[in-house]
Amino acid sequence: MAAKRKPGLPALPPVQAGPILHATPLVERWFWHYWQRLGLPESELALLALTQDRREYQRWTGKRLNFMVLGCYCYVQFAGKVSSSMADRASCKPGQTEGRRASAMVPLPGFSEGSLSRPAVMEGASELARHRHCIFIEPDMQPRSIEVTVAHELIHLADRVRGTPRRHRHHGYDSIAADEAAITGYDLEELRRLLHEESARREQLRRARAPLRYIYVCPNCGKEYPRARRYSRPVSCSLCDKAYNPRYRLLLARELL
Ligand SMILES: [Zn+2]
Ligand SMILES: [Zn+2]
């Protein structure tokens, strides 16, 4: 699912001569490789910041990453006010949250003008510096997954630079996945397998940190939704309705001790 909306103030990375790459040599290598493969313009390099640290990414973008996210691209734009949209790479979670789309990529609401934490940067900024590209790459993945995640996030960046950002219809099965296969040379099956493996691993890590304690159930179809924490807001069954529907609101059935 999408990164959680948090009232954090974005502290945008400074514009430098080149990109900010807070990354391992492997990530750096694939970054340059796919930057060239995608024919991305050199002029955007100074506006790019990549990190493998979730907290740093959150500082830059003001957005908190869901634990399951393997990679994320965020376009931050200043047009009188700061707005941004995010595209993340993660498996979808079940359950529809009220007021939010189930899409794995959700454009997030813009920041208000007052939330810009570095107005000084903006005052002296040239036309060039009216936006930033922020990328997160999860460090704890197998090397091939690192490679394809770098390619994946740069495809989002390329879309944005060309003015045609895409939403995910289905991770691993949509047009973005097809482009990912074309650019990396991996076939789609292999890409899906990698995504599945990494997601399963993240899920395992998450379970180790927060074991499942609450079993919610759909009053209509009976599907169970195990959870580590209680839902903080009403959630309905995603099988019974793709959008939030109070008729299928999940009920707490039991608590595991
Ligand atoms: Zn994506
Ligand atoms: Zn249901």
Distance 159 CA to ligand 1 centre (A): 11
Average pLDDT, the chain: 82
pLDDT band per the 50, 70, 90 thresholds, residue 13: confident
Rounded to two decimals, the ipTM of the complex is 0.65
Distance 168 CA to ligand 1 centre (A): 6
Q: Which residues of 94-105 are buried (b: 16+ CB within 10 A; e: fewer)?
A: ebbbeebbbebb
| Cα–Cα separations (whole angstroms), residue 187 to 8, 43, 193, 225 | 39, 31, 10, 33
Residue 142 has pLDDT above 70, yes or no: yes
Distance 188 CA to ligand 1 centre (A): 15
Whole-number percent of the chain with pLDDT over 90: 66
pLDDT band per the 50, 70, 90 thresholds, residue 109: very low
Name which of 7-16, 42-51, 174-183, 210-219 the model is least confident about.
7-16
Domains of the chain, residue spans: 20-209, 214-255
Long-range CB contacts (< 8 A, 24+ apart) of 3-7?
3/63, 3/64, 3/65, 3/66, 3/69, 3/72, 3/86, 3/88, 3/108, 4/63, 4/64, 4/66, 5/63, 5/108, 5/109, 6/58, 6/62, 6/63, 6/64
Neighbours of ion ligand 1 (CB under 5 A): 87, 89
Ligand nearest to the CA of residue 174, numbered in listed order: 1
Place of tokens 């993240």: 202
pLDDT, average across residues 22-41: 97
Distance 26 CA to ligand 1 centre (A): 20
* Tokens representing residue 13 in the block: 């990375």
pLDDT, average across residues 45-70: 94
Per-residue pLDDT at 115: 27
Distance 234 CA to ligand 2 centre (A): 14
d(CA 88, CA 57): 13
Task: Report which secondary-structure segment, H or E, holds 145.
Answer: helix 143-161
pLDDT band per the 50, 70, 90 thresholds, residue 177: very high
pLDDT, average across residues 48-69: 94
pLDDT, average across residues 21-49: 97
Distance 130 CA to ligand 2 centre (A): 45
Per-residue pLDDT at 251: 97
Q: What is the residue type of 86?
A: M
In 3D space, the residue among 137, 131, 132 whose CA is nearest the CA of residue 150 turns out to be 137
In 3D space, the residue among 8, 132, 156, 137 whose CA is nearest the CA of residue 79 turns out to be 132
Task: Classify the phi-psi angles of 241: left when phi > 0, otherwise alpha if psi is within -120 to 50, otherwise beta.
Answer: beta
Per-residue pLDDT at 63: 87
Number of Cβ within 10 Å of residue 76's Cβ equals: 26
Give the DSSP per-residue string, 201-221.
HHHHHHHHHS---EEEE-TTT
Cα 104–Cα 109–Cα 115 angle in degrees, nearest 5: 130
Distance 88 CA to ligand 1 centre (A): 5
Ligand nearest to the CA of residue 170, numbered in listed order: 1
Distance 224 CA to ligand 2 centre (A): 9
> In terms of pLDDT, which residue wins out, 58 or 82?
58
d(CA 96, CA 44): 36
